[in-house]
Amino acid sequence: MFRPVAEPSTERPAEVGRVELAVRTVLIFLQIAAAYLLAEQVSPFFYQQF
Amino acid sequence: MQVGGGEGASNALFIDTYYFWLIAIGAIVVLRLMTDARTRQYACAGLNLVFLVFVLGKQIAWLLAAGAILLFLYRAYRRSSLRLTLTLIIATAGSALFVAYKSAFFTHVPGEAWIQQLLAGIGFSFVFLRVIDLARSLQDGRYDPPRAEQMVNYLLPFHMLAAGPIQAYDDFARQPGVPNPLTTRETLDAVQRVAGGLFKKFVLAYALQKVFLTDLQAPGLWFALEVQILLLWLYLDFSAYSDIAVGLGHLMGVATPENFNRPWLARNLIEFWDRWHISLSQWIRRNLFIPIQLNLMRRYPRTDPVLIASLAIGVSFFMAGIWHGFSRGWLLWGAMHAVGLVVVRLYTGWMHKNRTAEQIAAYRDNRLILIATRALTIEYAAMAFAVVFMLK
């Protein structure tokens, strides 16, 4: 008899590992930093407020 | 007109202001800490109003006065005999204000700032659509009239004010009073959504604009390429606002609907409107298309349903064009979408009449047809937007 093979789960684990947390935090930081730096070009307003 | 805003001009609506982010961070902390639904509503309304003080300054007095009148009208919906009249009053007065506001924009603003003013105008337009949606929800008797703080939170949510999404009142009213706490992963996803939105808007859309867009002045083949890139730029710029709003909504625990779902996968215009500016197409369906269609069917029961549906689509998109802006471009944009949608409906009807279920399934599964229909759909949408920018 064959045992049914479970479908591979597409759900990601609920817990966030340290490596994932670190990598994603760095990526988030880089995206915000890039947006902040270029925002000056799009709108000088962004800088003037600080 | 400068596509994407002139050099150095602000077309970032509120997301480039310190007060937007200050209030966003405050709202995440305050609304997540509160465990009482009623207090949470008050706090949320307070934050939304503080944001408007930053935006409007002393002018907020006018907004509060208009809000008080509107609240009075909404409360009067308790009397069911008055409901239709109240909806007519709100729709007429709202439309008159909207028209006056938009007309002032287009007569007093120099051409250079056209796009910025259009985007700013859309900020007001989103509130107008929510005012109507709430009135119609009350007219149907589905909800009790809102309290003041509920009305503020539905009509003027600071994170959805700039560029939507246009939340349905159903969606607002059915959200839990106190949301479930976020897991680390959900928090990370939401922060990523906000960061991704900022990156899309200020890096990707900006780079695309700088490198490729020439205000549709480019000659020959370059012009054809620019029409495609214009749609991509619009997608990046507009969906960025939605990403930021949805991400902040998750972080604050405030229901915020999705607005885009990979529009390039749409295989016809009907699907396109299920994937592009979803909250607007749903608003049109709820408040224009279905009521017009039902009304016409009741009045003219012997008329061909396809004709009635086509008429309802035509009127709906004529209004959608006007809502976007008072220009020949937006009118033609509405007409192009209306004609396109009617053709899709007619073609789908013809297919179901003249082809077997197997043939239709084979048609849908055909890879070449899939690629061709997707390309045709996105091309049509791109041309409709190009018309807006060419005929202002």
Compute the distance between CA of residue B130 and CA of residue B287 in angstroms, rounded to an integer.
11
> Does the pLDDT at position B303 exceed 70?
yes
B200, B239 in Cβ contact below 8 A? yes
B389, B230 in Cβ contact below 8 A? yes
Name which of B13, B198, B233, B237 to mutate to probe chain A: the one with the most chain A Cβ atoms within 10 A of its Cβ: B198
Q: At what angle do helices B114-139 and B148-155 cross, to 10 degrees?
A: 140
B166 to chain A nearest CA, in Å?
Answer: 26
User: Dihedral (C-alpha) B26, B32, B33, B35: value to the nearest 10 degrees?
Assistant: 140
Check residue A48 and give its pLDDT: 41
Give B125's pLDDT tier (boundaries 50, 70, 90).
confident
Check residue B40 and give its pLDDT: 95
Give A5's pLDDT tier (boundaries 50, 70, 90).
low
Residue contact A43–B188, C-beta within 8 A: no
A50 touches chain B (CB under 8 A): yes
Q: Which of A35, A43, A50 sits opposite B199 (nearest CB)?
A: A35
Compute the distance between CA of residue B277 and CA of residue B257 in angstroms, rounded to an integer.
11
Check residue A47 and give its pLDDT: 42
Check residue B10 and give its pLDDT: 40
Give B148's pLDDT tier (boundaries 50, 70, 90).
very high
B183 to chain A nearest CA, in Å?
Answer: 8
Domain boundaries, chain B: 18-173, 184-259, 264-390
Q: Which of B17, B191, B195 sits opposite A49 (nearest CB)?
A: B17
Average pLDDT over residues B201-220: 84
Q: Which residue has the tokens 């053709």?
A: B343
Compute how many other C-beta atoms are within 10 angstroms of the C-beta atom of residue A3.
5
User: Dihedral (C-alpha) B292, B298, B303, B307: value to the nearest 10 degrees?
Assistant: 10
Q: Report chain A residues whose CB lies below 8 A from the CB of B196.
A: 31
- Which residues neighbour B193 within 8 Å (Cβ) at sequence distance 6 or greater? B243, B244, B246, B247, B250
B21 touches chain A (CB under 8 A): no
- Which residues neighbour B54 within 8 Å (Cβ) at sequence distance 6 or greater? B17, B19, B23
> Does the pLDDT at position B294 exceed 50?
yes
Average pLDDT over residues B147-170: 91
Compute the distance between CA of residue B329 and CA of residue B337 in angstroms, rounded to an integer.
12
A3 to chain B nearest CA, in Å?
Answer: 32
> Does the pLDDT at position B6 exceed 70?
no
DSSP run (H or E) holding B204: none
Closest CA to B52 of B172, B144, B207, B156: B156
B8, A43 in Cβ contact below 8 A? yes
Check residue B194 and give its pLDDT: 96
Q: What are phi and psi of B101, to 5 degrees?
A: -65, -50
Check residue A50 and give its pLDDT: 35
Give B341's pLDDT tier (boundaries 50, 70, 90).
very high
Average pLDDT over residues B337-344: 93
Q: Report chain B residues whose CB lies below 8 A from the CB of A15.
A: 184-185
- Please state, for a pLDDT cut of 70, what percent of chain B lies above it: 90
DSSP structural state of residue B161: T
B12 touches chain A (CB under 8 A): yes
Check residue B388 and give its pLDDT: 87
- What average pLDDT is seen over chain B? 86
Dihedral of CA B235/B240/B243/B245: which sign?
negative
B133, B110 in Cβ contact below 8 A? no
End-to-end Cα distance, chain B: 8
Compute the distance between CA of residue B26 and CA of residue B43 in angstroms, rounded to an integer.
10
Q: Nearest residue on chain A to B8, judged by CA atoms?
A: A43
Instruction: Output the pTM of the full model.
Output: 0.85
B201, A37 in Cβ contact below 8 A? no
